[in-house]
Amino acid sequence: MSRRHYNLPPLTTLSAFEAAARHLSFKNAAEELSVTPGAVSHQIKALEGDLNAVLFQRKHRGVDLTEDGKALYETLSSSFTKISKTLATIRDQAAIGKVTVGSTTAVAALWLSPAVIRFWREMPEINVDQLSQDRPFRDRPDIDFFIRYGRDSDQSLSHTPLFRDHLVPVASPDIAERLVDASLEDLAAERLIHLDSDDRSWTTWPEWFHQMGHNGAIPIDSRVNSYSVALQLARKGAGLALGWRRLIQPMLQSGKLVIIGPHRLTAPNQFYLVGRPDNELSESARALKNWILQEVEDGSV
């Protein structure tokens, strides 16, 4: 008789395999698990030895799952998802007045944090945790919902449309005054602040110019990996940023940033509230969700 009731390999090896299979990368799995890529590789080799089966095809620039690997990943992914939902339900019951909402740092600073403050004034009994990061939210059962531009690849998540924004060039007041009648060619000749994001759904400067009808070369002089940093650089006169008009409304109203000319592009995607279906949300989470939707309807964002 096996010394393990379910005759399972150690959970650490299964967890390492699931992360590596989901990312198809030992390096990315290691970052998620806060270990070294070598540690992940060691766990995978131990699991393959335990099963006497090859789970990954090692390639020069990455890995692919074998048929056995695909079968194991599908089972683990489904099982881990069920476990996560059960744990989330237990946590919700233990903290009925707590809500966790995620967003990018820019969305948090420009809109979500002020909205949460207004929410607290009306419903001080509900505690709201905000998680801000400029990379996609993946497999976070502790989050009730998050604000995302474009639809998430996980079709099991609920998507509630918020709004569709417009993309406009913005700069400091001095630069905007100098470029008040600037053509697209004039703008392309300016220093442009490019956002280098892991999320490929965000519109880039080259894409914006192409959609606006300008097909000339777009130089890349300055890159940042945070939209908040891009806006701050533009505010300080370091160049032009691609502004999401509705999202940056507070900076436009304060005069810290100014829209340049009439050039405007409708964003190809909408912003969504993405997360658990309403019937899986606590009363507190539904209250915050309804508040955010009302804020959008009222034009607070």
* pLDDT per residue as tens digits for the range 215-231: 888 988 789 988 889 99
Radius of gyration of the chain (CA): 23
**Confidence band for 2, pLDDT divided at 50, 70 and 90:** very low
Residues 104-132: pLDDT tens digits? 888 998 889 999 999 999 998 888 999 98
7 pLDDT more than 90:
no
Q: What percent of the chain has pLDDT over 90?
A: 60
Burial of residue 231 (CB within 10 Å: 0-12, 13-18, 19+) is buried
Rounded CA gap, 246 and 248, in Å?
Answer: 6
Domain boundaries in the chain?
11-80, 95-164+270-298, 166-266
Query: Considering the domain 11-80 in this protein, what is its CATH number?
Result: 1.10.10.10
pTM: 0.64
> How would CATH label the architecture of 95-164+270-298?
3-Layer(aba) Sandwich (3.40)
What pLDDT does residue 1 have? 40
Q: What angle do CA 135, 137, 141 make, to 5 degrees?
A: 155
Residues 145-158: pLDDT tens digits? 999 998 888 888 89
Give the fold, CATH level 3, of 166-266.
D-Maltodextrin-Binding Protein; domain 2 (3.40.190)
Average pLDDT (161-175) is 96
